[in-house]
Amino acid sequence: MCGIVGAIAERNITAILVEGLKRLEYRGYDSAGVAVLSAAGDLQRRRRVGKVYELEQALASEPLTGSLGIAHTRWATHGAPSERNAHPHFSGEQLAVVHNGIIENHETLRERLKGLGYVFTSDTDTETIVHLLHHTLAECGGDLTAALKAAIPELHGAYGLAVISGSQPDRLLAARSGSPLVIGLGLGENFLASDQLALRQVTDRFMYLEEGDIAEIHRDSVQIWDASGAPVQRETVQYHDGAEAADKGEYRHFMLKEIHEQPKVVQRTLEGRLGNDHVLVQAFGPQAEALFAGVRNVQIVACGTSYHAGMVARYWLEELAGIPCQIEVASEFRYRKVVVQPDTLFVTISQSGETADTLAALRNAKQLGYLASLAICNVGTSSLVRESDLTLLTQAGPEIGVASTKAFTTQLVGLMLLTLALGRARGNLEATIEAELVEELRRLPTRLGEALAMDKIIEKVSELFAEKHHTLFLGRGAQYPVAMEGALKLKEISYIHAEAYPAGELKHGPLALVDADMPVVTVAPNNELLEKLKSNLQEVRARGGELIVFADTKAAMSNGEGTHVVNMPHIHDALAPVLYTLPLQLLSYHVAVLRGTDVDQPRNLAKSVTVE
Ligand code: F6R
């Protein structure tokens, strides 16, 4: 999604802005731009379609120098990716705006502003903001902050805004509603960004804006007003780690690095949350113990990979905790008339905590009479966390690769902790089973390390896919969502069409597709569904389909003609979804590398989907 960087300093800030944009590249975008106010008072911009590299080239041949500036990476929503649609947008020669989000009433505003004589040079909704601000500026006697405050109520939709003007070179303005913004605090200089990662090269102290906040940022001070217009202080957060996340280290891609981080981050997600033989329910917040005892149903809502984690959790919650569970994608849930069962815990799952549909679903749910809301999230400062009653933070650390990997497995770990905590609170989980699973959770990082050690074998298997256009992924029980996640990974980064089915559905339709050109990938832990799965695989082989089976060492499956078996370390069945995810991630990764796609920033995709 779009990214914002801004700076006000005494030194030249152009390189800081560009470096900030580079650090946001992982979010996905299709054009980039920067506007800088020179010491002589000229506001100038450079914009380019394509990568930040193109913008850098433009700046190399036509440099911009100044100590106040804003920059943006755009992911097209209104208007095609083009230079004239790229941000910053100007009104006149003195006013520039960059914007994340969507202005829903942009057509009405556009007509009104055209009536006032404004000429539009782009197809974007953002251009209405800058002209509206220009118009209000005149009405506010040239006071930029007053003009922003006056214009904001006229904007309907979602926005994170950064504004600068040649007429008030002492300030950088920001406004947040539905799209995150963070102020980076320096010494005699301050910064702004849509994600703190963009500013880690200049500071480790941050102040997060809240919904409805407007900020006036000077070189040596920051003033913030909340949604009601009252001056407020926002807490300063200092980071002491995490800077290494922006570095690929020895790995060729962030995705590969993040896949290999999984034993470590799963370990971190477990830390402080396990007692000797039970889950520490306080990990979900101080009210969790009292609340969980009254939970009779669970409703999970999420998008994409996080939705797949929720699907696994449904199997766990019903089987291990005896609690009925429903799950739905957020974009459907938010627009549906929902019948809420009494005593239902509303659970959202999100890596970023800023996904527009998931946030909107949470906000709707609050009006619907759920018992309480719980966010399982990777970003402690996110909107989702701030707006939920209870939180379990996954400790995956920043995830840079657009295709989610370590966020998914840490979500699964968080959801297993939830299952065990709820099962005990409801009296449905025997203490011996909880103790056994706690022990298995402790061993999980080691098992994951063993699975990753099979990388070379999986790389070899990936060659089978290099020339293929379609694949099927099969799984049964809690492995079905794992198959869905495997298929999503493959299509996201290798652009191969991949579909997942519960293996039992094969002969109800998809079997018609199977032939020698359609590899079928299967996950086969050693459980009571294994024999049924083996019959499904025979059905594939009988139609000439090539099989790739990730199987438990105890499953007694062996290589044969058209059957490639990769033996996986043995694991307790309940935790098999976590383990079996890893070879599917590695498989997608190696196929994408073979096909030469952009692994970390696949086409058309954005890391954090902050618009609908
Ligand atoms: C896929 C992927 C997406 C996200 C989805 C939700 O690899 O990353 O499907 O899972 O956009 O994002 P979060 O978890 O941030 O709410």
The 10s digit of each residue's pLDDT in 83-104 is: 999 999 999 999 999 999 888 8
Grade residue 482 by pLDDT with cuts at 50, 70 and 90: very high
CA of 607 to the centre of ligand 1 (A): 7
Query: Which residue, by CA, sits nearest to atom 11 of ligand 1?
Result: 304
Query: Which residue, by CA, sits nearest to atom 8 of ligand 1?
Result: 404
Estimate to the nearest angstrom the gap between the alpha carbon of 341 and the chain centroid: 29
Ligand 1 near 385 CB (within 6 A): no
Query: Which residue, by CA, sits nearest to atom 16 of ligand 1?
Result: 350
Provide the token pair at 330. Answer: 């957020």
Mark whether 2 is an active-site residue: yes
CA of 250 to the centre of ligand 1 (A): 26
CA of 351 to the centre of ligand 1 (A): 7
H/E run at residue 190: strand 190-193
Pairing, β 520-524 against β 547-552: parallel
> Of 51, 43, 40, 153, whose CA–CA distance to 98 is shortest?
43
Give the residues across from 205 on adjacent strands: 238
Grade residue 271 by pLDDT with cuts at 50, 70 and 90: confident
Hey, which of 351, 381, 491, 581 would you mutate to test ligand 1's pocket, going by the most ligand atoms within 8 Å of its Cβ? 351
pLDDT at 241 (0 to 100): 59
* Strand boundaries in 428-537, DSSP class E: 470-475, 497-502, 520-524
Cβ(594)–Cβ(466) below 8 Å: yes
Query: Which residue, by CA, sits nearest to atom 5 of ligand 1?
Result: 304
Provide the token pair at 351. Answer: 């890596």
CA of 127 to the centre of ligand 1 (A): 29
Number of helical (H) and strand (E) elements in the chain, helices listed first: 18, 25
Grade residue 445 by pLDDT with cuts at 50, 70 and 90: very high
Query: Which residue, by CA, sits nearest to atom 3 of ligand 1?
Result: 304
CA of 103 to the centre of ligand 1 (A): 23
Ligand 1 near 55 CB (within 6 A): no
Provide the token pair at 541. Answer: 């082989």
Hey, which of 609, 610, 611, 612 would you mutate to test ligand 1's pocket, going by the most ligand atoms within 8 Å of its Cβ? 609
pLDDT at 131 (0 to 100): 98
Read off the pLDDT of residues 455-465 as tens digits, 9 standing for 90 and up. Answer: 999 999 999 99
Grade residue 244 by pLDDT with cuts at 50, 70 and 90: low
pLDDT at 242 (0 to 100): 55
Ligand 1 near 609 CB (within 6 A): yes
CA of 302 to the centre of ligand 1 (A): 9
Return the ligand 1 atom nearest residue 607 CA.
8
> Of 254, 235, 143, 152, whose CA–CA distance to 197 is shortest?
254
User: Which residue is associated with the tokens 């601000």?
Assistant: 133
Pairing, β 157-165 against β 372-377: unpaired
Read off the pLDDT of residues 322-379 as tens digits, 9 standing for 90 and up. Answer: 999 999 999 999 999 999 999 999 999 999 999 999 999 999 999 999 999 999 999 8
Please tell me which residue, 480 or 26, carries the higher pLDDT value.
480
Mark whether 607 is an active-site residue: yes
Measured CA to CA, the distance from residue 323 to residue 118 in angstroms comes to 59
Q: Tell me if the pTM is above 0.95.
A: no
Give the residues across from 348 on adjacent strands: 301, 375
